[in-house]
Amino acid sequence: MKKAMPYNQWVTITLTLLLTLLWGVSCLLVDYALVFTDFIQDKLPSKQALLQWATVS
């Protein structure tokens, strides 16, 4: 009969999988954040235009 895995081995495997998943999700979030900021910067007016708007109004 095969012995069951010890409790601490289950904990180690579970924590490793969770940390790997968390690392992958955080990498994706950082990637999406960088793409989003790039997209937003293209849509925003330039500093010169903002200064001109502030001085005119």
- The whole-number mean pLDDT for each consecutive block of 10 residues of the chain, a chain of 57 residues, reads 80 96 97 89 79 81
Q: Residue 1 falls within a domain, yes or no?
A: no
Tell me, yes or no, if the pTM score tops 0.75: no
Q: Residue 37 falls within a domain, yes or no?
A: yes
pLDDT of residue 21: 98
pLDDT of residue 38: 86
pLDDT of residue 42: 79
pLDDT of residue 57: 64
Q: How far apart are CA 47 and CA 56, in angstroms?
A: 14
Q: Residue 46 falls within a domain, yes or no?
A: yes
Q: Residue 29 falls within a domain, yes or no?
A: yes
The length of the chain, given as a count of residues: 57
Q: Residue 47 falls within a domain, yes or no?
A: yes
Residue with tokens 């955080």: 26
Q: Residue 8 falls within a domain, yes or no?
A: no
Q: Residue 40 falls within a domain, yes or no?
A: yes
Q: Which domain holds residue 49?
A: 20-56
Q: Residue 43 falls within a domain, yes or no?
A: yes
